[in-house]
Amino acid sequence: MPRDADFLEAAKAACVSWDLDPIEIGILSHTENVVCRIKLSATKQVVMRLHRPGYNDLAELNSEVQWVHSLAHAGLPVPTALQTDTGDYYCSVDIGDDTHREQRFVGVIEWVDGKPLGTPLTNTSQDVVPHYKTIGALAANIRCHSNQWDPPEGFKRRRWNLEGLLGDTPLWGRFWEAQPLTDGQRLLFRDARELLRDQLDALSTGPDRFGLIHSDLHLGNIMYDGADLTIIDFDDAGYGWFAHEAAVALHPAFGEPWFPYAREAFLEGYCSIHEMDSEEISSIDTFLAVRSLMIVGWLDARPELPIYEYFSVVIEAAEKAVKNLVTTS
């Protein structure tokens, strides 16, 4: 695994493609991608993402840029990608040394002021509840855009369908085989997977229920500057159920005593833009359980990340999320 110094050196090398002359480069986060702040002056900075090898190919990354640009054009609060000197949106860099060398695609995005509303894996504060009305409205606006946008030829993004979520090779990994699980937890997660597969299989994948979504709309991907919210990180954007989008947004509050208030606020904001019928609202509970299991698979495949220390908490939360599902079936 490359060191932080290797990533910083690679980020500096990549700046040449955008004709950037940084006065300071720092690592902001290291989860799916390595995200750096490129400070250009006392008042100007941009974000650089060094993408995880093998996760998105170049066609998928360029498709992400196309969709995010269309969302921005439609008035949604999203940062857009910047072009290189050659008119591309990505370059590639080699990172590491002779003992471990990897190639990563690199992109540069507009800077967003503020701080994330929360973190991807740890529980958040009840203070976020008032924001959930706005988050719901943003999710619904993404849905409305998805329903009317015509992707260009060659557009390529993953599918968060039954197989992508709970298939034999799910996009975020075989959570029921995660290394730290006990035999009892493996059995529980296998049983839950089968039950949840049946529930998802019964859901419509027509355009009124299934389309382009952010698919990782947790609080860590929503920035707040004290006045407005901005959605970032479309790395996982693809085709999925709109109820899945809602569940991902609500998942950071799942299990908290104030979860019902967050859910109520989210649905109020959402339904002010696009109505959800009772069947679709009910399916959010299914996707909350799915999300809990998905995170187990995601983190199991990334033991090198600092947030791996929360794995026991993630497993416990997933166990709670599905235990009632299995025992009442």
User: What distance in Å separates the CA atoms of residue 118 and residue 130, rounded to the nearest whole number?
Assistant: 14
SS3 274: coil
The pLDDT assigned to 101 comes to: 86
**Exposed (0-12), middle (13-18) or buried (19+): which is 271, by Cβ within 10 Å?**
middle
User: What distance in Å separates the CA atoms of residue 103 and residue 230, rounded to the nearest whole number?
Assistant: 30
| Six token digits for residue 102 | 């990897």
pTM: 0.95
- The domains found in the chain, sorted by start residue, are 4-111 (3.30.200.20), 116-327 (3.90.1200.10)
The pLDDT assigned to 324 comes to: 75
The pLDDT assigned to 60 comes to: 98
In this structure, the number of other CB atoms found within 10 A of the CB of residue 20 comes to 18
| Six token digits for residue 41 | 């002056």
The pLDDT assigned to 32 comes to: 80
Backbone φ and ψ for 234, nearest 5 degrees, come out as -95, 25
User: What distance in Å separates the CA atoms of residue 150 and residue 67, rounded to the nearest whole number?
Assistant: 10
User: What distance in Å separates the CA atoms of residue 121 and residue 46, rounded to the nearest whole number?
Assistant: 26
pLDDT 10s digit of each residue in the chain, 329 long? 778 999 999 999 999 999 999 999 999 988 889 999 999 999 999 999 999 999 999 999 999 999 999 999 999 999 999 999 999 999 999 998 777 889 999 999 999 999 999 976 666 789 999 999 999 999 999 999 999 999 999 999 999 999 999 999 999 999 999 999 999 999 999 999 999 999 999 999 999 999 999 999 999 999 999 999 999 999 999 999 999 999 999 999 999 999 999 999 999 999 999 999 999 999 999 999 999 999 999 999 989 888 888 899 999 999 999 987 777 66
**Exposed (0-12), middle (13-18) or buried (19+): which is 169, by Cβ within 10 Å?**
exposed
The pLDDT assigned to 328 comes to: 65
